[in-house]
Amino acid sequence: MNDRLLRAARRQPTDTTPVWLMRQAGRYLPEYRAIRGNIAFLDLCKHPDLAAEVTVQPVTRLGVDAAIIFSDILIPVEAMGIELELGDKGPHFPNPVRTAADIDKLGVPDPVQGTGFVAEAIRRTRKALNDSVPVIGFAGAPFTLAAYMVEGGGSKSYILIKRLMFEQPEVAHRLFKKLTDTLIPYLKMQVEAGASIVQIFDSWGGELSPWDYERFCIPYLTRMVSELKATGVPVIVFGVGMSTHLPLLKRTGADVIGLDWTMPMDEGRKVLGPDVAVQGNLDPLHLFLPREELDGRVRDILLRAGPVGHIFNLGHGILPPTDPEAAKFLVDAVHKHGVALRQGTLK
């Protein structure tokens, strides 16, 4: 296996810098669109053969150092007993969770019975790849999932979830605990199926102040990280707009902290210290730069991150209008300059 990603996550030497891209299996790839045109998004997530096929596509085309299983962070939420609609305009919950009674109705599902198709997709992905690169499993963080459930979908102000947290904190904590009780076995199922590293997405964690994040999120993230690390796999924690939260994220015990593009990588390194690996942090829209400028951004990030304990990635997901050739150029540039970085010749 090409184990660069796993070695970097454990801060071990690698021959070059590993790279993968969030949302690397997605609409920017014509081969993905060919499959997606015949099936609804949620149905694709639940079809192990097709989910495995689209998971493998970017590995074949781009040469990335990992395959992240094609799924959605809201899959385990649906299994808890809440109706979920996933369309082109994003997720929608027709009956959002707003009261203690709503939370009490939610179950803590058996992961195999409720979401076993994800595990099967991982097994089929490993087989299709012949274990040539690691498979990344993932889940959303409790706050991010709760925000979707309470708001009924995406939000600009997050007023409903925040009011629940501030006006009825004990009810909010009940929801976060139930989500944590669901997510840990869900991720463990992915590890048992063959995921050799997992990422926890707290996509909306940056909407909270550090004080609120420490109070409402860190206890649950810390528990998740601890129980997942006990399986022997490295754990990545990632969120958007969370530069001010880095000291808190370090406290979770995660092996790797993902950075978005709003903080230079070397500054993030200083905050986190030498005992945590980092992931990131190219602005996804930099893939629209002329190739020479994109190449310069890659070199800058690599120099700031250093040769050990860095996984190159975007600061968030790749965007649908992106040219696949730009993504391929990026991956090749990371690998080329990563070698030069280790040889001491990168400038």
Q: Does the annotation count 36 as an active-site position?
A: yes
Q: Does the annotation count 7 as an active-site position?
A: no
Q: Does the annotation count 23 as an active-site position?
A: yes
23, 124, 223, 342: which one is catalytic? Answer: 23
**CB < 8 Å & 24+ apart, contacts of 298-302:** 298/330, 298/333, 298/334, 298/337, 299/333, 299/337, 299/346, 299/347, 301/265, 302/17, 302/334, 302/337, 302/338, 302/341, 302/346
203 is in an annotated binding site: yes
157 is in an annotated binding site: no
26 is in an annotated binding site: yes
28, 148, 186, 220: which one is catalytic? Answer: 148
Tell me the chain's radius of gyration from C-alpha atoms. 19
Q: Does the annotation count 148 as an active-site position?
A: yes
36, 98, 297, 304: which one is catalytic? Answer: 36
258 is in an annotated binding site: no
25 is in an annotated binding site: yes
The dihedral over CA atoms of 272, 21, 86, 141, expressed in degrees to the nearest 10, equals -20
3, 10, 11, 27: which one is catalytic? Answer: 27
Q: Does the annotation count 213 as an active-site position?
A: no
65, 72, 255, 260: which one is catalytic? Answer: 72
- Written as six digits, the tokens of 123 are 């097994």
181 is in an annotated binding site: no
190 is in an annotated binding site: no
Q: Which residues are annotated as a binding site for substrate?
A: 23-27, 72, 148, 203, 316
Q: Which residues are annotated as a binding site?
A: 23-27, 72, 148, 203, 316
Q: Which residues are catalytic?
A: 23, 27, 36, 72, 148
